[in-house]
Amino acid sequence: MEFNAIKKIYFIGIGGIGMSALARYFRLHGAEVHGYDRTETDLTRSLAAEGMHIHYEDDVAFIPENVDLVVFTPAVPKDHAELNWFLERGYPIKKRAEVLGIISRAKRCIAIAGTHGKTTTSTMTSHLMRACGIDATAFVGGISLNLGSNFVEGTSDWVVVEADEYDRSFLHLHPEIAVLNSIDPDHLDIYGTEEAVVESYKQFIRQIKPGGKLIYRYGLPIEDVVAELRASGRQAFSFGIEEGDYEAFSVRVVEGQMAFGLHSTIFDWSDFRLNYPGKHNVLNATAAIAATLSAGGFSELLGVAVAGFQGVKRRFEYIVRRQDVVYIDDYAHHPAELEAAISAAKMLYPDRKITGIFQPHLFTRTRDFAEGFAAALDLLDECILLDIYPAREQPIPGITSATIANLMKNPNVNLINKKDLLNLLKTKDIQVLMTMGAGDIDTLIEPIKNLLTTNPKH
């Protein structure tokens, strides 16, 4: 399908972070964009302000005539009326990942994969490339605070994309450079086993183009595929802290910033400064630096570019930052992500009480990783657990937020309904507060911010 010929395009689930980036791409290229989403959000309001036609009821009456292409996300339920209307009438229908694959095939693609760190690393890579002389197009899985969007079009032949493992979406990509941050089990409702997760990542790596490069976290269980790559004339470089081909060293906190050096076979830098806390973000930065250099970015501009990275919305995002109280919001929804975010806060604020509010995302994920969630949340001084956000799932008998609470060693745990949260917070001594989760916990950010700003206790 020739995408440039598309005059009218329809998105089912247009408010998703990946879907909205594609919608912005087609709007920029002159298409009339229509779409459905379940709920109105800041992002859908932004899309409407950019000239897109969006509605929030699953009703075929909203579908315009002469739609050239329908794009949908696998998160849409099978009984969705609009999706079935298009299917029954034989419209051209593609998954989001397939469309991204077709767009990126025409360019030199850097694809960022991994269970965690994809969004920060892809956003950081696009920022570093653009700051180091490569005007890259970017489709990223979060709102970049540098770019002010999840999509930006560049003039170079490079594109940076986030390679999503959900529903094996990333197998639509054939990158020139692939970055692999982590392979932790997730989406077991799709994959079934941890082995199937690893095998899917290996297949993604095998799709790197001839002459291409893999940049991977040191120690991942992929040595057999790394050997395959090298035998076929492709390259593979590892990265890590105190290990790997790109080796970050002397990682420390200096005046609220992460400071570190970086050694590689070609370059040595003694002092990077990153305004994004935590060792996991030093790893993300190391991967992004390696990708930028591999694409030919100017190395002498890297120091300023790394220091200038402002971050991503909902990734350790400061909502309130005062002497007396700090409020951080984070998208963390897997045990390893919770541990990374909470550890980063403890590293920055070692002498303050850290209170975390967590909304588990999906019944299956809560069931599969309850012990991991409990261990990560035990790092908090005080934990507030909201009800599970179901997203696409039906409840599982016996699986609730109490499943996590019952495994925790921390005595300071509150199980609470979302509507009662603000009243509970009014009674608490808040020093450092974190909201964490991938559900609709983000609707609480403004009310919590207002409470911390207006409540005389804070």
| Residues with catalytic function | 118-119, 162
At 434 the three-state DSSP class reads strand
Are 344 and 317 in contact by the 8 Å Cβ rule? The answer is no
- Burial of 128 per CB tally in 10 Å (0-12, 13-18, 19+): buried
Q: Give, as one character, the DSSP assignment of residue 442.
A: G
110: Cβ–Cβ under 8 A, 6 or more apart, which residues? 125, 136, 158, 159, 160, 161, 175, 176, 177, 178, 179, 291, 295
- Helix runs in 240-362, H state only: 279-294, 302-307, 335-348
* Integer Cα distance of 182 and 163 in angstroms: 12
* Integer Cα distance of 210 and 83 in angstroms: 38
Inter-CA distances, 235 with 126, 208, 229, Å: 21, 10, 6
The secondary structure of 340-353 as a DSSP string is: HHHHHHHHH-TTS-
At 249 the three-state DSSP class reads strand
Joined together, the tokens standing for residue 20 give 């909205």
* Integer Cα distance of 417 and 410 in angstroms: 20
Q: Please, what's the b/e burial string for 362-375 (b: 16 or more CB within 10 A of its CB; e: otherwise)?
A: bbbbbbbbbebbbb
* Integer Cα distance of 171 and 114 in angstroms: 13
The secondary structure of 173-224 as a DSSP string is: ---SEEEE-------HHHH-SHHHHHHHHHHHHHTSPTT-EEEEETT-S-HH
- Helix runs in 29-115, H state only: 42-49, 81-88, 96-105
Among 342, 352, 417, which Cα is nearest to 375's?
342
Joined together, the tokens standing for residue 181 give 């941050």
Total number of residues shown for the chain: 458
DSSP-derived pairing of the beta strands 413-415 and 158-162? unpaired
Give CA angle at 167 (212, 72), nearest 5°.
100
Largest Cα–Cα distance in the chain?
Answer: 65
Provide the CA 56 distance to its chain's centre, in angstroms: 24
End-to-end Cα spacing for the chain? 57
